Structure 1
Amino acid sequence: MQISHAASENQSAFLIAKKNACLGCHATNKKIVGPSFESIALKYKNDPNAQSFLKNKILKGGAGSWGVVPMPANAKLNDVDLSLLTSWILRGAPGEN
């Protein structure tokens, strides 16, 4: 049952990322415009504040963490979707197709 729940969460997070144009700049394992989700997960893996930081970064946008190219704000995302999306990113975006 846990595997199916995890797969469902991964699919939901992927759909949130797709719907909000995250996949135009990010991919699981390669840099596009922004860093790969695997690179993000690796960079923040030992940071206890990573989820909060990433939620804020996604919500407000900005630049500087990965270079000078700014990430646009995604202010329309609610906290539940932000939490699901950031958890998925911090796991390296498993199940992205």
Structure 2
Amino acid sequence: MKSSVSIALAVAAFAGLSISAPARASADLAQKKNCMSCHTVQKKVVGPAFKDVAAKYAGQKDATERLTQKVLKGGSGAWGPVFMPAMKDANPPVSEAEARQLVQWVMQQK
């Protein structure tokens, strides 16, 4: 009986870690991929604050795909004249899977 309780607690602890890990992993990924050179979560720097991006695109069904492509290909106009370079060509480059993970994390910011 004691063993099954220990296993249940271990599974619950692991589940809690796996639920919170992606958000932290994405913040770390944003740092690693130099996103934080131009963005922060709470306020505009060169590019918009991630919380503002999340608010602007909240509820839009195609937001993740559109923003993933924006990260990969770059662009300008949505937030003013400052150009966002194509992150697929950046150093270090951002893969499509990483861009999608970053966008999903950004869309969770408040």
TM range (shorter): 0.7 to 0.9
Match of 1:80 in 2: 97
Calculate the aligned-residue CA RMSD, in Å. Answer: 1.5
The answer to whether structure 1 residue 70 and structure 2 residue 83 are counterparts is yes
Q: Compare the two structures and name the one with the higher helix fraction.
A: 2
3-state SS of 1:35 partner: coil
Give the alignment of 1:1-97 within 5 angstroms. Answer: 1-75=14-88, 76-92=93-109
Structure 1 residue 77 displacement after superposition: 1.8
* Bigger Rg, which one: 2
* Distance of aligned partners of 1:2 and 1:36 in 2 relative to their CA distance in 1, 3 Å threshold: farther
Tell whether the 8 Å contact from 2:72 to 2:96 is kept in structure 1 after alignment.
no
Q: Count the aligned residue pairs.
A: 93
TM-score (normalised: structure 1) = 0.87
Distance of 1:72 and 1:56 partners within structure 2: 12
Question: What percent identity do the matched residue pairs reach?
Answer: 32
Distance of 2:43 and 2:53 partners within structure 1: 11
Gapped runs of 5+ residues in structure 2?
Answer: 1-13
Gapped runs of 5+ residues in structure 1?
Answer: none
TM-score (normalised: structure 2) = 0.77
Q: Which moved more, 1:79-88 or 1:25-34?
A: 79-88
Distance of 1:85 and 1:6 partners within structure 2: 16
